[in-house]
Amino acid sequence: MQSLSRLLLIRSFLRLFLLQASWNFERMQNLGVLYVLEPVLRALYRDDALQEAYHRHMGYFNTHPFMASPILGATIALEQRRAAGQVGTFGVDDFKSMTMAPYAAIGDALFWGGVRPLAVCVSLFFAVKGSLLAPVVFLLGFNLPHLWMRLMGFMRGYLLGVSVVEIIQRHRLPDLAVRIKEGMVVVLGGLIAYLTVATCRGAGFSAGWGAAALPLICLFVLFARKGASALLLLGLSLAFLVTFFQVVIW
């Protein structure tokens, strides 16, 4: 089997950061996949075989951009075996199409729904204090797991091939996503309580009045679940505040 140099793999890995550069409605990340695989495909195939390999990856592909790392790492391993004439149970296309949807769901829940909001909530404590460390805290909190997933996912995908699926299963990422979301909700509760108390004290009220924020949030949640947008809720609340201060206070 033809070995792939580290330099080639590093080039492919770095190209992962531009996976979505040509994201389109019709085939979503298809050109991105080809862009990532291009150095490897050119090393493995020549002439018609190379053109055929390009054809293979021109089809629809869409997954979470960070979870694409294990998929494309394993795809490189599969292409390498295919170029060496070893035919396994899974074809390259089969593997990609079987994994992209579940991995997208895992990535969305874990990174967009869990890690990102948690990192934001922690960093907002710094922002409330007026500390410019807030963006740094957020970037560190988000990017450490993000870059770990990208790097380890790609490496393990390449080294293990289709068996990378078992590793992802063993880590029980969907369960982890739920735990992170629960943690985020707790931190969010603390953050909102802190903001409410700070505002009440700033306006000369007792911190206990901050409890009034809870039914207000419940009301907002109710409206949001009925389909009200953030802009609408914000607009109505601000209009109410302006009217209240104009009519009642003045």
Partner 1 sequence: MDFLGCLFVAGVAVVCGLDRTAALQLMISRPIVAGPLAGFVLGAPLVGLQVGLLTELLWLCRIPVGASIPPDDTQVAVGATFLAVSVLPPDSLQISVIIFCLLIAMPLAKCGQLFDRMARRANDTLSRRAGRSVQSGNLGAVDRMHLVGLGHFALASLLTFIVVASAGSVLCAILMPSLIILLEQPAPWMQLVFPLVGAAMILASINVSRVMTLFSASFASALLMLWLL
Q: Between residues 159 and 234, which has the closer beta carbon with respect to partner 1?
A: 234
Return the residue of 23, 93, 152, 160 that touches partner 1, per CB under 8 A.
Answer: 23
**Residue 71 touches partner 1, criterion: CB under 8 A:** no
Angle between helices 6-15 and 68-83 (to 10 degrees): 140
Find the shortest distance in angstroms from Cβ 39 to partner 1: 10
Task: Choose between 88 and 113: whose C-beta lies nearer to partner 1.
Answer: 113
Structure tokens at 93: 């296309």
Which tokens in the block code for residue 12? 């492919």
Options 13, 61, 138, 154; binder of partner 1; rule CB under 8 A: 138
Q: Any contact of residue 8 with partner 1 (CB under 8 A)?
A: no
Residues 160-199 interacting with partner 1 (rule: CB under 8 A) = 178, 181-182, 184-197, 199
Of the residues 6, 46, 170, 225, which one makes contact with partner 1 according to CB under 8 A: 225
In 137-161, which positions are buried (b, 16+ CB within 10 angstroms) versus exposed (e)? Answer: bbeebbeebbeebbeebbbbbbebb
Nearer to partner 1, 74 or 109 (CB): 109
What secondary structure does DSSP assign to 158-210, as a single string? HHHGGGHHHHHHHTTHHHHHHHHHHHHHHHHHHHHHHHHHHHHHHTT--GGGG
Neighbours of 84 (CB within 10 A): 11
Is 213 among the residues that bind partner 1 (CB under 8 A)?
yes
Nearer to partner 1, 35 or 161 (CB): 35
Considering only 72-80, 83-91, 165-173, 217-225, which stretch makes contact with partner 1 by CB under 8 A? 217-225
In angstroms, rounded to a whole number, what is the distance separating the alpha carbons of residues 130 and 124?
9
Residues 88 to 127: which contact partner 1 by CB under 8 A?
Answer: 104, 108-109, 112-113, 116-117, 120, 123-124, 127
